[in-house]
Chain A
């Protein structure tokens, strides 16, 4: 891997890592206890 490629990977993870973790936290903060898939399953037995 070249130095430029390594720098791109590093920058990518500096952005993607915290953003993804933030996304998980936001999703957990708004969760309502019933999975959308499971609700769909219940309405489509």
Chain B
């Protein structure tokens, strides 16, 4: 939800984002195809169809790595946040490229015999007891089905109907799909490759992605642990540390501030010479409000544009979403926050940056 929310929220930036991503994918596939054909002059070691199957497969797995890297990369460097805004579009594009890879494979390897291609696909190899000859195609099908499930439910309609908790759990399954697809490649393509290029790329990609996620997660965990465990006003940061119309997030001590006693983050926003603090979690999909901006006087979630007024945590009319608010004061140039959360939507007088401060 935002003031400008519509069921399909297309705008110029989204179209440009999608066009750039689609052009990049098409360029990658064309280049990969050309390189394979050039590297295998007639009589070719691989057919054009095989080259196309490889090109779409490599493009899909590369795109999956990019999609999975966007989240932790944005947590490490906020300048990358625009990539996060339409990540779901990339997910849908990934599904279609992976689908093309799957369909081409079925047509090329299973459609020229007397057996139904689907039956041939499922029954051609049943060596489940052998890692060496494991039916890697089934791993690809399982991964593709999961990508389909996520692409089909990527719209807000499903988010609302499935509830955010179920939706998020379903989409966390992307990691299982990732593991299935990596094994699909390891037990398929890599089994016959004499060149180490694909092996090196796959190991490097998997290692880098895991390292990026672990680094981002552990870094934030240690940052959260550094906050003192106290119920007094908490020293958050210097006023100058918060950029205009942006926020600084801090983690509350365990059990102190957030609703239901759960630890949570608070976003302290600086706007129009004032400071206000709200819960960091957007009511829509749990997006990080502290990574958003103040636009038209409202805190705007970086994920899907849900908006809240900084001083009372309420969405502007006609919407009725609310987030908890917190008392803020300025002491000798330092921002201090009362860790006890106020009920969602409670108005709080913003701390004025230019007025006399608490001594």
Contacts and interface: CB of A to CB of B under 8 A. Distances in A.
Nearest to A44: B112
Interface stretch (B11-19, B145-153, B172-180, B350-358): B172-180
B179 A20 contact: yes
B187 A33 contact: no
A9 B263 CA distance: 17
Interface string A7-42: 111101110111111011011101111111111110
B109 interface: yes
A16 B178 contact: yes
Contact of B178 (A5, A14, A20, A28): A20
Contacts of A44: 109, 112-113
Contact of A31 (B132, B206, B224): B132
A28 B186 contact: yes
Secondary structure at the B interface, as helix, strand, loop or mixed, is: helix
A30 B113 contact: no
A18 B213 CA distance: 12
A21 B206 contact: yes
Interface in B184-201: 186-194, 199
B189 A24 contact: no
Q: Which 5 pairs, one residue from A and one from B, show the smallest C-beta to C-beta distance?
A: A35-B192, A17-B210, A10-B217, A27-B186, A13-B213
Interface of A: 1-10, 12-14, 16-21, 23-24, 26-28, 30-41, 44
23 contacts: A2-B281, A3-B263, A7-B221, A8-B172, A10-B218, A14-B214, A16-B176, A17-B206, A17-B207, A23-B186, A24-B182, A24-B190, A24-B199, A27-B187, A27-B190, A28-B190, A28-B199, A31-B191, A35-B188, A35-B189, A36-B133, A37-B50, A41-B50
Given A3-B251, A14-B214, A41-B108, 16 more contacts: A2-B264, A2-B280, A3-B224, A9-B213, A12-B175, A13-B210, A13-B213, A18-B210, A20-B206, A24-B203, A27-B191, A33-B194, A34-B192, A35-B193, A36-B136, A41-B50
